[in-house]
Chain A
Amino acid sequence: MAEGAWRVELEMHSGQPDPPGEVAGTALRQRGLRLDARVRSGRAYMLPGSLSRAEVERAATALLADPVAESARILEPGAVSADGGRTLIVRRHPGVADPEGQSALRALKLLQLPLPSGAVVESYHTYRVDGPVDGVELLAAGSRVLANPTVESAQLGDRPLQPHRAPPERTSRRTEVALQPLGKDALLGLSEHRGLALSLAEMCAIQGHYARLGRAPTDLELETYAQTWSEHCKHKTLTGPVHMVEQDASGRVLRERRFQNLLKETIFAATERLAPPWCWSVFQDNAGVVGLTEDLGVAVKVETHNHPSALEPYGGAGTGIGGVIRDILGTGRGARPFANLDVFCVGPEGLPPEQLPPGALHPDRVLAGVVAGVRDYGNRMGIPTVAGTLLRHPGYTANPLVFAGCIGEIPRTAVHKEVHAGDAIVVLGGRTGRDGIHGATFSSEALHQDSESVDATAVQIGDPITEKKVLDVLLQARDRDLYRAITDCGAGGFSSAVGEMAQDSGGAEVELALAPLKYPGLSYAEIWISEAQERMVLAVPPERLDELLALCSGEEVEAVRIGTFTGTGRLVLRWHGEVVGDLDLDFLHHGVPRPQRHAEWTRPDLAETTWPDADLAELLVRALGHPAVASKEWVLRQYDHEVQGGTVLKPYQGPEGHAPADGTVVKPRLDLPQGLAIGVGLAPRIGQLDAYAGAACAIDEAIRNVVAAGADPHRVALLDNFCWGDCRKPDRLGSLVRAAEACHDAALAYGAPFISGKDSLNNEYRANGVERPIPPTLLCTAVAPVHDASRVVRAFLQRPGNLLVLVGAARPAGGGSVAAELLGLADSAPPLPDLERAPGVLAAVHEAMRRGLVQSCHDLSEGGLAVAAAELVLGSRHGARVELGRVPAEGLPALSQAGGALARAFTETPTRFLLEIAPADLEALASLLRTCAWAPVGEVTAATELALCADGTPVAQLSAQQLARANRVPQPIAS
């Protein structure tokens, strides 16, 4: 009996709904499986074989099963079930985290069952076909659509399940790697063979350093350089020297520029020039920090987790959000997260399978996985996911983008941290395993068609409850001054976290054998670079150590001292006492060669947009259904966007909850009047035409969104996230330089400094010799205070008889717009914000809000005026009538001319707002808008429809219901 394991398999009673079973059945049929019967989904557990049947039955009824809703089946070790031949079993690979199994084990101990020491409980899933099916076909189809081979395997239930054996042990003796005899090819070969992702120049620099030392590096030292110098950690491109050449289409050089440090001379230079007093910490910590009140600030960070999400969307997105939450916990001496945001860029909906590149997951599966990943991690952490967006474009099919952001509140007194020599190095939270080995170097490499199979260990599965416990104890410890500094274990694991903190004190000594492990047998190098989740590293004054450890143990959080910060200038790593690494900190952090990169940019030769005539009603219906515009409510409703009770301007609002917000507003503290508005912008379709315009439009959109919600435009802070193709290629780098210049110019124009950023510069996919970069994608995130959060401005119509006022002039440039794409117009000049006039528009709109003149507001973005008006209508219980002839316009054809009406309805000129005001307030508004282009363009009507008129005649008339259906607003269903 001790061999093998008991199995407890649970299914919902047959009368109960089983949506996961239905989803599985649909997926199997789509895969071509002949299937007439229902598929029943189940959860299941493997328990130690040493238990008696009575004990297993007790575990099943008292703990594992919900007897009212579920039926349980118990299989003794070695047994198979009668319908095993039509049951698919999906298990995690050995070593993949199984938090549910661990929870089950913990709960079994509460029942005081006689568990053997080292007992393991494994959880898995079953899919049982409730009727005849071909088992071989079930396995073939199920392996593809119900299991992700990166982390899971599928098998039929007609053979016994064996518990996973312990992972293999690695030898772990001090190992040196001889570099001196190696030539260039051999050095590069070594880098590749060991998965170091170091360039030849970097390998040569290391070779030279050790030649001067007169010894060979250890394997651990090489790994440390690889992690610390990775693009992911070091951002060598953005902070490196660049030679930029601009040319015209004929190749004539127009302009040349040289940067010593691209980031410093563009984005950061603007921040330094603006240097407002409310910027408390910029570009130096894990997140940027700005003041909200005199003594309370907000820490903001947005990260990407693209490559892990491409391989395992659920785990990748979940650990993406988990990682950025730790960035916030590790900012200053720790901030308390109160809002999350996420942005996904994936391939087209319903992409025909034959168009799917080899090795890539289907975009619909990627999207379902990343939404579920963010949902399950964010919801469990109790942090409201309040903002974000979703973009679909063929350019992301093989290389999806997942942006995850987190915002925390932090007392001013906790913003600065320092590490003293003599402080204990304490690791706190999750244990270290083999998960995520080489994540930092992997994410710096392009994806390729074998990524799925070779990089399995680079994927991580998150455990949000461990992280929530970490959060809970850290905030108590911070407020009791139990530590001096903190940072998170992200890419590079301990090597990055300890390595960075050691810079502050001037050295560190670590005994790697002290790190708590998930399972035995890890080598010292694996421990040092593991990217296991949910770990933080603290610098603890020795006299506070006991109190910290006691606090942690009281809440079941593991905290262990693994070493001491020193002032020796060295990073010394030991394994059971023996020195296995002894690195010079100065060389580690400053020794990386900074080769000059070449960038080139060919000025696009794009004509003005020629707008045609078309049926405006039909175009509006198509625009509302375009993925950029279509309702994302189905995503937001899966996120707990209300937890913590501070979400006052919700992502979907209005009487039915269908009105999409521009920006959302969250109160970090319930007892303070201030709220924080959050907005995002990205414009890759425009960026593809001109990266400068794409970046400027993204920034304008993010700022528009927070201003529309009622935030102060003079207090906007920005974040940049660059996701680009391989920037070793001059054309990719050229567009990056253009985007960085746009950030500089726009930041200065709007008076909105960038405070933090992150880049991911190898988003290319290679298959069959073809290289495909993603569209250049700058995500801009804006945050700004709403001084009185009880007076936010909502984005749905309030009262019939009110006027609709359009602020900002329409211009013809429509390249990259939704309407241009739907009409199949040739590429034309993209829109560009008018950086001279835009700040005046923002200030005037805000002043009108401050004076209480604005009853509702929506910014004009994808789909222009027509879509903005439609969204205001479909989210309210009223209608609107808009006269296109009154739209403020510059350079558009006359209303009666070809394209005149269509351009007014659909052009996407930035910095424009549609305001709802009471007729009596028109004069007061007029005096505020003196210097802006503006006009009353319509009114709120009692009829629940939208009428777009040209010279008084409706040219598009759609009911609110038609608009909602076109926009794919979720419809009510009877149960």
Chain B
Amino acid sequence: MKPRVLLLRAAGVNCDRELAYAFERAGATVEQRHIRELAARPAAVAECDLFAIPGGFTYGDDLGAGRILAVEVERFLGEVLAEHHARGGSVFGVCNGFQTLVKARLLPDLADVRATLTWNASGRFECRWTRLRVEGGLARLLPEGFVLPAPVAHAEGRLVLADAARDLQRLEAGKRIALRYVDARGRPTTDYPDCPSGSSGGIAGLVSASGRILGLMPHPERNLSAAHTPDGGAGAWGRGGEGITFYRALLSPYRSGAVV
């Protein structure tokens, strides 16, 4: 049986098409359900392997990106998601989905680390291609050091930690850092534009201790072919299609024969 992905829909979710397509290309069956529908029948979450919150502007980013959806997720789906995770299921958030996971305090899952995603240092929405390096937190799924080119498109993607130096160390030591922005030579950076947000530690994505709650700001689902890259796969942004590799990796625990 193919891995089953459940995509959350809500007012303002708008990256559902490309995310569904990417998961399908990576070998999953994809179902989409509205938050109202899940609030009425939370058990539907149990029918999937991977629960995904796509990018978008849920509720217009009012009160801060992901904030209102986070309240809804906590209130309506908090329990079923905890059970889903305990059973070996994954929770994945991209862009606004990541913001939602952070605002719902599902990420980072370290009791003494307080984090948020807030306005880019530029104060502006930024849409541009970046390079992401796989860090220790994601090494279970992808080779550490693998470079994944993908565009970002967000205004509130800067990871802020309550105690930057101390918290960075804890995230690092706890293998909670999934992806970092790197420059053209592969070195981690917090400098604009390679790190468009000025995110703390150049962090682009976080992962839980289990490795099964994952969120990232960039959009690997917009890099499925050479034609997607800004230079047609000529090499400045990889060869194109690295997003497929990424989504295959997310699904790998759920392929038939795989042991969770």
Which among B60, B127, B151, B191 is the interface contact of A103 at CB below 8 angstroms? B60
Scan A692-725; emit 1 where CB is below 8 A from any B CB, else 0.
Answer: 0000000000000000000000000000000000
Q: Are B231 and A17 in contact, with the CB atoms below 8 A?
A: no
Contact of B12 with A643 in the complex, beta carbons under 8 Å: no
In the complex, B173 has a CB within 8 A of chain A: no
Give every chain B residue within 8 A of A472 (Cβ-Cβ).
Answer: 9
A655–B128 Cα gap in the complex (Å)? 12
Evaluate contact between A794 and B127: CB separation under 8 angstroms.
Answer: no
Q: Which residues B29-74 have CB closer than 8 A to chain A? A: 34, 36-37, 55-57, 59-64, 67-68, 71-72
Q: B160 near A17 (CB under 8 angstroms)?
A: no
Is A637 a contact partner of B128 (Cβ separation < 8 A)? yes
Q: Which residue of B62, B72, B118, B231 is within 8 Å of A655 (Cβ)?
A: B231
**A546 in contact (CB, < 8 A):** no
Q: Give the chain A neighbours of B230 by CB distance below 8 A.
A: 650, 652-655, 657
Partner of A66, one of B64, B219, B221, B224: B64
Contact partners of A111 in chain B: CB under 8 A: 71
Name the interface size band of chain A: 35 or more
Partner of A645, one of B12, B56, B195, B222: B222
Q: Which stretch from B15-23, B81-89, B138-146, B252-260 is at the chain A interface? A: B15-23
**Residues in A neighbouring B125, C-beta threshold 8 A:** 375, 379, 638-640
CA of A789 to CA of B228 in the docked complex: distance in angstroms?
A: 10
Q: Are A379 and B36 in contact (CB under 8 A)?
A: no
- Taking a contact as CB atoms closer than 8 A, the residue among A381, A463, A796 that contacts B231 in the complex is A796
Q: Across the interface, do A554 and B36 meet the contact criterion of CB distance under 8 Å?
A: yes
B119 interface residue (CB < 8 Å to A): yes
Give Cα A642 to B228, complex, Å.
9
Name the B residues within 8 Å of A975 (CB-CB): 121, 190-192, 195, 198
> Does A104 interact with chain B (Cβ within 8 Å)?
yes
Closest residue to A657 on the B side, CB-wise?
B230
Tell me if A103 and B68 are in contact (CB < 8 A).
Answer: yes
Residues of A within 8 A of B59 (CB): 103, 106-107, 465
| A465 and B17 form a contact (CB under 8 A) | no
Give Cα A638–Cα B13 distance, bound, in whole angstroms.
19
By beta carbon, the residue of chain A nearest B224 is: A645
How far is B191's CA from A973's CA once the two chains are assembled, in angstroms? 7
CB distance from B233 to the nearest CB of A (A): 10
B151 touches A642 (CB 8 A): yes
B225 to A: closest C-beta gap in Å: 7
Q: Cβ of A554: which chain B residues have Cβ within 8 Å of it?
A: 34, 36-37
Assess the A19–B123 pair: CB atoms within 8 A.
yes
List A contacts of B57 (CB < 8 A).
Answer: 379-380, 382, 464-465, 468
- Chain A residues, Cβ within 8 Å of B12: 380, 465, 468-469
A66 to B115: give the CA distance in the assembly, Å: 10
Contacts of B127 in A (CB 8 A): 636-642
Contact flag A648-B122 (CB < 8 Å), given A103-B68, A382-B15, A468-B14: no
Q: Are A68 and B114 in contact (CB under 8 A)?
A: yes
- B18 A973 Cβ-Cβ under 8 A: no
Q: Which residue of B lies closest to A112 (CB)?
A: B75
Distance between Cα atoms of A652 and B231 in the complex (Å): 10
Complex formed: what's the CA distance from A630 to B37 in Å?
Answer: 49
Q: How far is A671 from B22 in the complex, measured between Cα atoms in Å?
A: 11
Tell me, yes or no, whether A579 is within 8 Å of chain B by CB.
Answer: no
| Contact B153 A642, beta carbon cutoff 8 Å | yes
Tell me which residues across on chain B come within 8 A of A790, comparing CB atoms: 225-227
Q: Which residue of A lies closest to B103 (CB)?
A: A66
The minimal Cβ–Cβ distance linking A893 to chain B, given in whole angstroms, is 40
> Which chain B residue lies CB-closest to A41?
B123
A104 with B62, Cβ < 8 A, contacts A655-B230, A790-B225 known: yes
Q: For the complex formed, measure the closest distance between the CB of B200 and the CB atoms of chain A, giving whole angstroms.
A: 11
Which DSSP category, helix, strand, loop or mixed, fits chain B's interface? Answer: mixed
Candidates A66, A636, A973; contact of B67 at CB < 8 Å: A66
A375 to B153, CA, bound (A): 12
Chain B residues within an 8 Å CB radius of A68: 114-116, 118, 160-162
Hey, which chain A residues are within 8 Å of B234, CB to CB? Answer: 655, 798
Q: Give Cα A974 to B12, complex, Å.
A: 33
Measured between beta carbons, the chain B residues less than 8 angstroms from A792 are: 227, 232
Q: B18 and A464: CB pair below 8 A? A: no
Alpha-carbon gap, A808 to B127, bound state (A): 36
Check A555 for interface membership: any CB of B closer than 8 A.
yes
Chain A CB within 8 A of B27 CB: no
Q: Is A110 an interface residue (CB 8 A)?
A: yes
Q: How far is the CB of B102 from chain A (nearest CB, A)?
A: 9
Q: Is the CB of A657 within 8 A of B121?
A: no
Q: Is B129 an interface residue (CB 8 A)?
A: yes
- Give a binary string over B106-136; 1 marks a CB under 8 Å from any A CB, 0 the rest: 0000000011101101111111110000000
A806 to chain B, nearest CB (A): 23
Query: Could you tell me the distance in whole angstroms from the C-beta of B130 to the nearest C-beta in chain A?
Result: 11
Mark out the residues of chain B between 159 and 192 whose CB falls within 8 Å of any chain A CB in the assembled complex: 160-162, 190-192
**Which A residues touch B219, using CB under 8 A?**
642, 645
Is A272 located at the chain interface by the 8 A CB criterion? no
Q: Are A555 and B63 in contact (CB under 8 A)?
A: no
The minimal Cβ–Cβ distance linking B153 to chain A, given in whole angstroms, is 4
Bound Cα distance A645, B222 (Å): 5
Is A20 in contact with chain B by the CB < 8 A criterion?
yes
Residues of B within 8 A of A17 (CB): 119, 121, 123, 198
Task: Establish whether residues B190 and A671, one from each chain, have CB atoms under 8 Å apart when the complex forms.
Answer: no
A residues in contact with B211, CB < 8 Å: none
State the CA gap A641–B72 with chains docked (Å): 29
From A100, A647, A656, B236 is in contact (CB under 8 Å) with: A656
Does B193 make an interface contact (CB < 8 A)?
Answer: yes
Q: Is B63 in contact with A974, judged by CB distance below 8 angstroms?
A: no
B17 touches A645 (CB 8 A): yes
- Whether A643 and B153, one on each chain, are in contact in the complex, defined by CB atoms closer than 8 angstroms, is yes
Interface check A352, CB cutoff 8 A: no
Known contacts A68-B115, A637-B127, A670-B17, A648 near B228 by CB under 8 Å: yes
In the assembled complex, which residues on chain A have CB atoms less than 8 Å from the CB atom of B64? 66
The smallest beta-carbon distance between A375 and chain B, in angstroms, is 6
**Cα distance, A49 to B104, chains bound together (Å):** 28
Contacts of B192 in A (CB 8 A): 972-975
CB distance from A754 to the nearest CB of B (A): 30
Contact flag A670-B21 (CB < 8 Å), given A19-B119, A790-B227 = yes
CB distance from A18 to the nearest CB of B (A): 8
Q: Tell me if B68 and A107 are in contact (CB < 8 A).
A: yes
- Interface contact A556-B11, CB-CB below 8 Å: yes
Question: B18: which of A16, A375, A380, A670 is its contact (CB, 8 Å)?
Answer: A670
Q: Which residues of A contact B124 (CB under 8 A)?
A: 19, 637-638
**CB of B157, distance to nearest CB on chain A (Å):** 12
List of B residues within 8 angstroms of A16 by Cβ = 118, 160
Distance of B64 from chain A, by nearest CB (Å): 5
A99 adjacent to chain B (CB < 8 Å)? yes
For the complex formed, measure the closest distance between the CB of A257 and the CB atoms of chain B, giving whole angstroms.
Answer: 49
Which A residues are CB-close (under 8 A) to B21? 645, 670-671
Across the interface, A69 reaches (CB within 8 A) one of B15, B71, B118, B191, namely B118
Give 6 A-B contacts (CB < 8 Å), ordered by A residue: A103-B59, A107-B68, A107-B71, A554-B34, A644-B18, A654-B230
Which 7 residue pairs of A and B lie closest in terms of their CB atoms, listed nearest first?
A382-B14, A19-B123, A645-B18, A103-B62, A655-B236, A68-B116, A640-B153
Residues of chain B having any CB pair with chain A under 8 Å? 9, 11-15, 17-18, 21-22, 34, 36-37, 55-57, 59-64, 67-68, 71-72, 75, 103, 114-116, 118-119, 121-129, 151, 153, 160-162, 190-195, 198, 219, 221-222, 224-228, 230-232, 234, 236-237
With A792-B227, A975-B195 given, name 19 new contacts (CB 8 A).
Answer: A17-B119, A62-B71, A66-B64, A68-B114, A68-B161, A69-B116, A110-B68, A379-B57, A379-B125, A554-B34, A643-B15, A643-B55, A654-B236, A655-B237, A796-B231, A972-B191, A972-B192, A973-B191, A975-B190
Give me the interface of A with B, judged by CB distance under 8 Å.
Answer: 12, 16-20, 22-23, 62-64, 66-69, 99-100, 103-104, 106-107, 110-111, 375, 379-382, 463-465, 468-469, 472, 554-556, 636-648, 650, 652-657, 670-671, 789-790, 792, 794, 796, 798, 877, 970, 972-975
